[in-house]
């Protein structure tokens, strides 16, 4: 048995081995996985736009006019009219001077931190940050320190001890817990100590704030320096890609120096056209967020007396912590037997001992879908 075989076997023995599921239908709340119809409560398609006919039609029109590939990086010949229009519209939407579209949120985070933070500077980040922020800090030449989740006193201490430039990096909505970062307090600390505040709003953009403008809007905060705003487009917007928003100087700096922007092929223009249509829908159809809010409230009320460990989240991410990886896998299996897909989330995605069901809601879920889920969870609670 080779070293790789041993590593794979160890993952199996620890209930940490992961398997891909074959999706055989459109993205949505009712899907087909491995030839089995299932009700999904695990997608980040929060507003139900991934298969919206208007978004599909916009992508088709974009492909017809601009082709299916961009052909080059943005700084060669890949920066098309749809890309440019999307950047201007995204900047206006979140209230920033300017925006820059990246191919993925992972690339956006790596591009920002590696461009702005040099040797002798310090990146301070929450321990529960998304892997893209953790990896970005590792790849940057700066020093990095992580603080216990939401520990503002520790953030302040690290800022006081820093000698060079500083940057606080945080999820705006934490992807596995569903809670919001204390953005007003973090911003005050960043301003007090002359540092940046980078917030990855992958799970807040489109979902919270005025007309879905995101987590800073939720707190009534404008996107002024020293804020660096990261938004992703493959979740509430239902398409693909990401963007960085901030001051004109920040964006021009990234355009000139971010390696993950300069040295990669641009997002297909058709995707940019689809995202422009998604943005129009996000801005104009507040009923989607209202529907999502009602589902979340009804879910939390329904689960409150089941004895399950529901985390304090008011967002579309509603985790139920079960502890061991074995327990989470067993719960996933029992739910699937009843036609419900909620994959087990296990280490290293979450800390050891906090394996969970990560339940997520979409505006496309019906009251009947919710009742089906609650009934299945009630049986799970009784069995536990």
What are 273-284's pLDDT values in tens digits? 999 999 999 999
Give me the chain's average pLDDT, please.
96
Q: 369: domain range?
A: 22-47+286-383
User: Is 203 a known active-site residue?
Assistant: yes
pLDDT at 384 > cutoff 70: no
12 in any annotated domain = no
Q: Which residue among the candidates 235, 362, 365, 369 is catalytic per the annotation?
A: 235
Give the pLDDT of residue 304: 87
pLDDT at 353: 94
* pLDDT at res. 144: 96
The residue-averaged pLDDT of 142-146 equals: 96
pLDDT in tens, 170-192: 999 999 999 999 999 999 999 99
For residues 338 and 341, give the distance between their C-alpha atoms in angstroms, rounded to a whole number.
9
Tell me the percentage of the chain whose pLDDT exceeds 90.
Answer: 95
**58 belongs to a structural domain:** yes
Q: Is 235 a catalytic residue?
A: yes
Claim to verify: residue 160 and residue 247 sit in the same structural domain: yes
In this structure, is residue 105 part of a structural domain? yes
152, 233: one domain: yes
Catalytic residue (one of 203, 218, 365, 369): 203
Domain CATH number, residue 59: 3.40.640.10
CB hemisphere CA count around 177 (13 angstroms): 18
At 284-315, the pLDDT tens digits run 999 999 999 999 999 999 998 888 878 999 99
Higher pLDDT, residue 105 or 309: 105
pLDDT in tens, 62-72: 999 999 999 99
Q: Does residue 198 lie in a domain region?
A: yes
What distance lies between CA 92 and its chain's CA centroid?
21
Q: Are residues 72 and 152 in the same domain?
A: yes
pLDDT of residue 382: 72
Same domain, 33 and 163: no
* 115 given a catalytic annotation: no
- Asked which of 234, 249, 284 is the last residue of a domain, the reply is 284
Same domain membership, residue 319 and residue 339: yes
- Mark whether 234 and 346 lie in a shared domain: no
pTM of the model as a whole: 0.95
Secondary structure in 3-state letters for 228-293: EEEEECCCCCCCCCEEEEECHHHHHHHHHHCHHHHCCECCCHHHHHHHHHHHHHHHHCCHHHHHHH
Is a pLDDT exceeding 80 seen at residue 332?
Answer: yes
Shared-domain flag, residues 267 and 376: no
Identify whether 375 is part of a domain: yes
Q: Using one digit for the tens of pLDDT, what is the confidence trace for 125-134?
A: 999 999 999 9
**Cross-strand bridge partners of residue 319:** 358
Q: H-helix or E-strand containing 367? A: helix 367-383
Predicted confidence at residue 341, as pLDDT, reads 97
Choose the final residue of a domain: 253, 284, 315.
284
User: Would you state the pLDDT for residue 285?
Assistant: 98
Over residues 355-366, mean pLDDT:
97
Set 175, 215, 217, 278: catalytic member: 175
CATH number (domain holding residue 301): 3.90.1150.10
- Same domain? For 227 and 329 the reply is no
pLDDT band at 79 (very low <50, low <70, confident <90, very high): very high
Gap between the Cα atoms of 178 and 368, Å rounded: 24
| 339 and 373 part of one domain | yes
Number of domains in the chain: 2
383 has pLDDT over 80: no
* Residue 99 and residue 244 in one domain: yes
Residue 8 domain flag? no
Do 230 and 203 share a structural domain? yes
**89 domain residue, yes or no:** yes
Q: Is residue 139 part of a domain?
A: yes
Same domain, residue pair 28 and 58:
no
Where is the domain boundary, 264, 284, 304?
Answer: 284
């Amino acid at each position: 048995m080779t070293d790789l075989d041993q590593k794979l076997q160890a993952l199996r023995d620890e209930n940490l081995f992961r398997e891909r599921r074959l999706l055989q239908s459109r993205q949505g709340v009712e899907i087909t996985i491995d030839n089995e119809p299932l009700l999904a409560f695990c997608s980040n398609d929060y507003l139900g736009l991934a298969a919206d006919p208007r978004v599909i039609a916009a992508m088709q029109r974009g492909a017809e006019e601009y082709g299916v590939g961009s052909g080059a990086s943005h700084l060669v010949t890949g920066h098309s009219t749809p890309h440019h229009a999307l950047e201007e519209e995204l900047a206006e939407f979140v209230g920033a001077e300017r925006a820059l579209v990246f191919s993925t949120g992972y690339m956006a985070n790596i591009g920002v931190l590696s461009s702005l933070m040099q040797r002798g500077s310090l990146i301070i980040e929450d321990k529960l940050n998304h892997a893209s922020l953790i990896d970005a800090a590792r790849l940057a030449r700066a020093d990095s320190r992580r603080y216990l989740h939401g520990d503002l006193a520790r953030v302040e201490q690290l800022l006081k001890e820093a000698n060079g430039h500083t940057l606080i990096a945080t999820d705006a909505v934490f992807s596995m817990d569903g809670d919001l970062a204390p953005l007003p307090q973090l911003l005050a600390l960043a301003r007090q100590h002359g540092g940046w505040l980078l917030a990855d709003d992958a799970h807040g953009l489109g979902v919270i704030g005025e007309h879905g403008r995101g987590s800073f809007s939720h707190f009534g905060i404008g996107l002024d320096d020293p804020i660096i705003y990261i938004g992703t487009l493959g979740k509430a917007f239902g398409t693909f890609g990401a963007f960085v928003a901030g001051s004109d100087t920040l964006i021009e700096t990234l355009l000139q120096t971010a390696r993950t922007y300069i040295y990669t092929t641009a997002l297909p223009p058709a995707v940019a056209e689809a995202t422009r249509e998604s943005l129009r829908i996000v801005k104009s159809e507040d009923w989607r967020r209202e529907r999502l809010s009602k589902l979340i409230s009804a879910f939390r009320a329904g689960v409150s007396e089941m004895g399950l460990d529901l985390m304090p989240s008011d967002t579309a991410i509603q985790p139920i912590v079960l502890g061991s990886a074995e327990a989470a896998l067993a719960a996933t299996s029992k739910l699937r037997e009843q036609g419900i897909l909620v994959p087990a989330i296990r280490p290293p995605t979450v800390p050891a001992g906090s394996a969970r069901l990560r339940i997520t809601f979409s505006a496309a879920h019906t009251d009947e879908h919710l009742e089906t889920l609650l009934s299945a969870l009630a049986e799970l609670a009784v069995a536990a």
